[in-house]
A and B are shown apart, each in its own frame.
Chain A
Amino acid sequence: MSKKTFWGLYLIMAVLACLPWVLPNSFYMDLAIRIAINAVIVLGLNLLIGFAGQISLGHAGFLGIGAYASAVLPTHFGLHPVLAMAAGALVTGLLAALLARPIFKLKGHYLAMATLGLGIIINIVLRNEAALTGGPDGMPVPALGLLGFELSSDKHWYWVVALLLSFSVWASLNLINSPFGRALRALHGSEVASQVAGVDVVRYKVSIFVISAVFASLMGSVTAHYVGFVTPNFADFFHSIELVTMVVIGGMASVYGSVLGAVLLTALPQALASFEGWETVVFGTILMLCMIFMPRGLVPTLAAKFGKGA
């Protein structure tokens, strides 16, 4: 794999290293942490949407499972947060594996519908089981701790998340250029071609769906621990759409695009916080304009213009 594809990673790592000294106050620190978390989630989702060419309109549901596992299991069942996170990931993985095979026999709009339905059902369950989940008002999440060391200060969180992001970008880049990654991208390019090359198409789709779901669940747990509180809005349809928007804007099938998309669209709601209704309008307009004029997303379109590959 050519060295130049990693320049972006080095750049990201450099930025991450310098940021704490540059950011003026804890508000921006918090924003940076949220951006980094979103970036990791979007990376996982992009593997499914951008690289493998599938659709998921219910991914926030998986985030929700992880987040609520980290809230409910320690609070109501005394489970250690790390085990709770693992449990959440396991449940998500099983659910995704169970539903993936029938889902991926469908294509196009049917697939979108199935993932959407799944996400909505999860959201409704979380909203309704108030005894466990605190209902629409949500519930607090205990701090994440390992070996007696509790992760609570912003600074600690920052470094943890920065490492996580760097690792995720590195791993994604590796994955894309491996045999597995090529098979994934081939799925998007031509399923027929993949099949005759020996790729078991359904199995691959199922795998990437499960991987991407488990990823989301883990990150859902991380977010829950960081914020310290979780509400069902975290797992709602709009959040799923936000995530898809980040994938689409930054660039489907672009690792760096995922990061860029997360940066842009996590910062945007903050900027629009005072214009409540406009946030929706702006999101919608961005989605439409992007898909009409730049269907491949920012990073790939710009890269093509300047003659590079990303």
Chain B
Amino acid sequence: MALLEIKDLCINFGGVKAVQNVSFSIEPGIVYAVIGPNGAGKTTLFNLITGVYIPTSGSILLDGEAIEGKAPNELARRGVARTFQNLQICMNMSALENVMLGAHLRLDRNPLKAALRWPSITRRDAELRAESADLMRFVGLEAYIEARADSMPYGALKRLEIARALALKPRILFLDEPAAGLNPKETIEVDALVRKVADSGVTVVLVEHDMKMVMNLSDRILVLDYGKKLAEGTGDEVRRNPDVIAAYLGARTSEEAPSEPVIDTPSATFPFTEPSLPAEVLLQVSGMESCYGRIKALKGINLEVRRGETVALVGANGAGKTTFLRTLSGVQPMSAGSIHFEGEDISAVRSDQRMRRGICQSPEGRQVFGPLSIEDNLRLGAYTQARAHVEEDLARVFDMFPILKEKRQLPAGTLSGGQQQMLAIGRALMGRPQMLLLDEPSMGLAPLLVQEVFNVVKRLKAQGMTILLVEQNAFAALAIADRGYVLETGLVTLTGTGEELLSNEQVQAAYLGM
């Protein structure tokens, strides 16, 4: 009988159907992977099964028992353990104590006996200490047995979490992006560790973006897209499935006109570049590094953008694309390297000042000011501009995006995803950019809307705008870009013209782990 059975699982957040009618089952003892593009609902699915969210409908059966809606600590009682994408380690305790925490349910937790130093408790604790040290050796952390958690490097902490999960003596272990933030060497080590865990009889379920790792380890794979089950099968079956390929790399966009036009044929042009100027280098980035706490997200990026170009920055999830744009705009600190814009070194310039120099961004996830009206959002986009031309710029944006004009007094939060994306781009345009940064404009949008977004990008390009486009949807981005860079775990691994990269098999391999 299947160890875990999911039937028609659904969850809605507000109006968004994050997971829709997903059904699958997991046999005991296998390694089962859940994959899918950004925003597909993988982590939501995990959170549903491990008790973080309560499903709107559907059932989850663990060994025949319905567990949907049970709290995580109750699930722990039933042998369900999990790790977290963004590490949940108790930094205030030692490494060993973190592992011992995992065995919590197996111990006598009476505070009175503990305070009085009851012999049975002290004895059991000493035994547990030895057991936990063994577990740390099992996961390869022998060097840190005496260490405090806050002195350990990121890669070690990821294994520590696995050790803690194993201390529970689980029947089924959920690993949430175990390779996230790791360098290639560490990834191989984690890969081997997961194999070791699976071989010891624990059923493993993992969410992971690193395709090589997924293909290596998994017995079966579930592919999600837009919250629905897209495909299921062995690694080979999944990787050859054309729907899966399209979902990850992006379908080649057709030239069909959309049924509900969001953009009009523009008479609107933005007075930025004079097409007759030779292509000078507008942006020069050298050796850019940036860290999130212990993770080095960018490890030395070199990149340049010439005036009037459209440059695409593509790469798998977690490669560092958004980090790059945020560092460029100054909202993420840069730990090493330099940025030269229009010939000047802006590495130490504050973020709002960079914006005044003409680096405007439409951020990942749109980030509109929800409670404020569309018009307010746009006017705030012109916050740094002289009052004189705000009205005409506003008129131009409305020309370009008529739907925004129609809804101008409504709160931005009531717009659909696609409309918010238009707003975000419009807001950036209000800043009269010399260089427009677009961070994943197609993320989470239905294919038809994706096409519209790229049409907008094409039109802006035609008007001479310099664009730096970050996208997970490699095909669409590279198809319209002059040049592109491929980012992998914080470093540029490939560069070339848009066409060169499009036909380059390495790009496909990077995405699908072939």
Contact = CB atoms under 8 A, between A and B. Distances in A.
Interface string A188-205: 111011111111110000
B168 interface: yes
Q: How would you classify the secondary structure of chain A's contact residues: helix, strand, loop or mixed? A: helix
A190 B88 contact: yes
A179 B90 contact: no
A198 B100 CA distance: 12
A185 B84 contact: no
A26 interface: no
Nearest to B91: A189
Given A175-B111, A185-B92, A196-B81, A1 B122 contact: yes
Contacts of B114: 174-175, 178-181
Contact of B104 (A182, A192, A253): A182
Given A177-B125, A179-B125, A186 B111 contact: no
A193 B176 CA distance: 13
B102 interface: yes
Interface in A207-254: 207, 211, 253
B116 to A, nearest CB: 7
A201 B93 contact: no
Interface residues of B, number: 40
Given A189-B92, A195-B72, A200-B73, A178 B125 contact: yes
A290 B201 CA distance: 51
A193 B73 contact: no
A261 to B, nearest CB: 18
Given A175-B114, A177-B125, A178-B121, A186 B93 contact: yes
Contacts of A199: 73, 104
A36 B116 CA distance: 20
B101 interface: yes
B306 interface: no
A128 to B, nearest CB: 36
Interface string A160-184: 0000000000111011011111110
B442 to A, nearest CB: 32
B164 interface: yes
B109 interface: yes
A8 interface: no
Given A189-B89, A189-B93, A207-B111, A195 B148 contact: no
A174 B116 contact: yes
A309 interface: yes
Contacts of B102: 197
Across the A-B interface, give the 8 residue pairs with the lowest CB-CB distance, nearest first: A189-B90, A178-B114, A198-B76, A198-B105, A171-B115, A179-B107, A193-B88, A195-B72
Interface of A: 1, 170-172, 174-175, 177-183, 185-186, 188-190, 192-201, 207, 211, 253, 309
